[in-house]
Structure 1
Amino acid sequence: MPAPLNAQGVFTICPTPFDDTLKVDTESIKSLVDFLLDTGVTGLAILGFLGELHKLSNAERRLVTDTFIKHTKGRVPVWVGVRAHGITGAIEQAQEAQDAGSDAVFAAPLDNAGDALLFDYYKAIADAIKIPVVIHDFPDSFGTEIRPEVVARLGKEGGVHMIKMEEPPVGPKISRIRELAGDEAMKIFGGLGGMFFLEELQRGAVGTMTGFAYPEVLVEIYNRFAAGDQVGAAAVFDRYCPLIRYEFQPKLGLALRKHVYQQRGAIKSRAIRAPGMKIDALTVKELEATIARVGLSVTGKGRQAIQA
C-alpha cells in the first residue's frame, strides 16, 4: 500500500540485526518486525543511519529490504533508506526499494551539496519512482544542511512532500518550513531519538521517525497528543525523558538499542559492525538502572504498559 501524503504517527527506524559472526540475521529481522508491530507503531523505516546501511554490501542491502518487506506483509508501511554519493546511485537504490515493495524511500542528502544541487537531487529521485520520497535532514551525521527554503521549494515544485527533520534547534526550523511550504506541501516528521518529540508535535510535526527501543512510549505520546490530550502527552513524555535522553547518546545509541532489543527478545545478538562503539559493563548497568527508574522492564517480553 503506497504511503499516503498524510502519513503520520510513529515510524520506527529499525536496526539491522547481525548474528555473532556479523552476518545479516534474517530470522532476527522477522522477530524484530513482529515485536515492533506489537508495540503499535504506524510504520517501519529500514536502512537508515541506525540500520547501518553504509556498512552493507549491495546484496546485503537487497536481502535486508526483501526480508523486512516480505515478513511485514503489508501490515504497516515500510520505508527504505537511500544513501549514495551521486544522483545515479541514489536513483538506483530508490528504484530497487520500489521494486521490492517499499511504500516510500527516505533519502540522505549528497555530501556538502548546495541548494541548487540538493533540489535537483531530490527532484530527480522523485521523478524516477512512483512512491513518495522523504527528505532525511540530519546535518550532524551527513554533514549537509538543507535549508527551509530548499525544503519548501521541493514541496511546491519538486514533488517531494515529506521530511524527517533532525536539525536542532528543531522548533524554529519546523515553524519556518511550515511558514514557507504550508502543511499540504510538506509534512514534517521529527527524529533525534524522540528527544524533542513533544515540542515537535506542538510545532506541527505529524509524527516521528526515529529509533528507540521502547517504541510503545512514543506511540502513547503520539496517541494522546492526537486525541487532544496534550497534558497527558506531556506527562508521558516527562516520565520517560531520562531513558530517551540516555539512549540517544552520540556514538553509543545503536549499541544501547541493540542491547535492549536483545534483552527484550526481539533479536538474537547485539552485534554491530565497525565502525561502531560497543558498550561496556558499567554502561549496561547505567542503562538498565535508567530503564528501571522510569518503570519499564529490560527483560519483559511484548508491549509494556506505559504510565503517565
Structure 2
Amino acid sequence: MTALLHTPDSLATTQGVFTICPTPFAADGALDLASIASLVDFQIEAGVSGLAILGFLGESHKLSQEERSQVIRAFIARAGGRVPVWVGVRALGIAGAIEQAREAEALGAEAVFVAPLDTTSDAVQFDYYPAVAEAIGIPVVIHDFPDSFGTELSADLVARLGREGGVGMIKMEEPPVGQKITRILDLAEGSMRVFGGLGGVYFLEELQRGAVGTMTGFAFPEILVRIHQHHAAGDLAAAAATFDRYCPLIRYEFQPKIGLALRKAIYMRRGVIACDAIRSPGMRIDPITLRELEATVARVGLSLAHRGIYAID
C-alpha cells in the first residue's frame, strides 16, 4: 500500500502522563457531567500532559451513542484547550471505527487511540490502522492491550505501521513490556513513539526502555507526573526512589477486574467525583477491600481524606 499523506506531526514532541479518565456516573447510573468538570480540573492541577477518555477504563462499551457524544463534549469543553483530549475508539469493523474517530475529531479531540480489530491477522491490522488515519485529520494512536482486547499486535507490525503506515504512536500494554518496547523502537527506526500503561506498574522500566510517558488511570496522577519529571530531568535516582516509594499503592490499585472500582472509590474519597458508581457488568468493592485500600494508601504516606493535589518529592 502507499504511504499516508497525513503524518502525526502533532505527536512528535508529546510526552508525559496522559490520564485515562473514568466516566463518572450518579448513583442511579446516569451520566454525571458535573463530576467530569471537577475531574478535568483535578487532572490539570496534578500536572498531567493530557486526558484520554472512553478507553476501557471509561466504560465506553456501557454507553449509548448519545452518551458517548455527551462525554466527549463535556471533557473537551472543560479542558478548554488547557491540555489535549484523546478519545478511545473500538469497533467491530473499519466503518464503525472511522465513524467513532470522525465524531471525536468533529467534537474537538486532538487524537484518537484505537483498539485493534478482534482476532484478526497482522495483515488485516496493517490495512485497518492506516484506513482510520486516512479518514481523519488528527493522529491515530495504536492501543495495544491484548489482555482486554484478545488481539496481539506484534512488534514487527507496530514498527511497520510507524515506518510505512503513518501511525507513529502506541499505547503499549503487553507484558513483558520492556522487551516489546525495545524491539518496537529498534525496528521502527525512529518512526514510532511509545506510551506505557498497565496502571503504571512498570512505569520506571518503560521510561528506561525509551517510552516517552504513560497513559493509565492511576488515581494519584501527581505521583506519575513526578516520576516522569525526575526522569526527564535526568535524575534517574529520584525517579526510581519516587517509583519505589509508591509502588505498593500502584500495584494494589491495578488489580484485574476490580481496578476500576478502586479508582472510582479513590476519586470519590479525594473529593474529585461525587459518586463511585460503575455500570453493570462490573465488580464492586466490599468493606474489607476498602479497608485494604485505605491501609495501602496510608502505608505510602497518603490519605484518602486529603483534598487537593499532593506535593510529591
Question: Normalization by structure 2: what TM-score?
Answer: 0.96
Q: Counterpart of 2:136?
A: 129
Matched, 1:236 2:242: yes
| Equivalent AA in structure 2 for residue 292 of structure 1 | A
Which residue of the partner structure matches residue 99 of structure 1? 106
1:70-219 paired onto structure 2 within 5 Å: 70-183=77-190, 185-219=191-225
1:301 CA displacement: 1.1
Match for residue 221 of structure 1?
A: 227
3-state SS of 1:49 partner? coil
Q: 2:31 aligns with which of 16, 21, 24?
A: 24
Q: CA deviation at 1:5?
A: 2.4
Structure 1 partner of 2:259: 253
C-alpha contact (below 8 Å) 1:174/1:188 kept by paired residues = yes
Q: Would you say 1:282 and 2:288 are equivalent positions?
A: yes
**Displacement, 1:43?**
0.4
Amino acid at match of 2:266: V
Following TM superposition, by how much is the alpha carbon of 1:113 offset from its aligned partner in structure 2, in angstroms? 1.1
Q: What is the one-letter code of the residue matched to 1:297? A: S
Alpha-carbon separation, structure 1, partners of 2:214 and 2:102: 25
- Residue deviations 1:120-167 (CA, integer Å, cap 9, x gap): 110101000111100000000000000011101111111100000000
Q: Name the CA distance, whole Å, in 2 between partners of 1:205 and 1:146.
A: 17
Query: Could you tell me how far 1:3 is from its partner in structure 2?
Result: 4.2
Q: Paired residue for 1:38?
A: 45
CA offset at residue 4 of structure 1? 2.8
Distance 1:5 1:197 in 2: 20
Name the SS of the counterpart of 1:28 in structure 2.
Answer: helix
| Residue 306 in structure 1 maps to residue 306 in structure 2 | no
What is the CA–CA distance in structure 2 between the aligned matches of 1:306 and 1:283, rounded to whole Å? 26
Question: Equivalents in 2 of 1:24, 1:150: separation in Å?
Answer: 38
Note the aligned Cα RMSD (angstroms): 0.8
Partner AA of 1:241 in structure 2: C
Structure 1 unaligned segments of length 5 or more: list them: none
Which structure 2 residue ranges, 5 or more long, are not aligned?
Answer: 1-8
Conserved? CA contact 2:87–2:111, under 8 Å: yes
Using the alignment, how far apart are the partners of 2:10 and 2:197 within structure 1? 18
Name the structure 2 match of 1:9: 16
Q: Which amino acid aligns with 1:136?
A: H
Paired AA for residue 173 in structure 2: E
Deviation at 1:98, TM superposition (A): 0.3
Tell me the SS of whatever aligns to 2:38: helix
2:5 — aligned with what? none
Tell me the equivalent position of 2:75: 68
In the TM superposition, residue 7 of structure 1 has moved relative to its aligned partner by 0.7
Identical positions, percent: 67
On the 8 A contact 2:27/2:277 being kept in 1, the answer is yes
Aligned-pair CA distance for 1:291:
0.3
- State the alpha-carbon separation in 1 of the partners of residues 303 and 40 from structure 2: 20
Deviations 1:287-308 (A, max 9, x none): 010001101121111111213x
Q: Give the secondary-structure state (helix, strand or coil) at the position aligned to 2:151.
A: coil
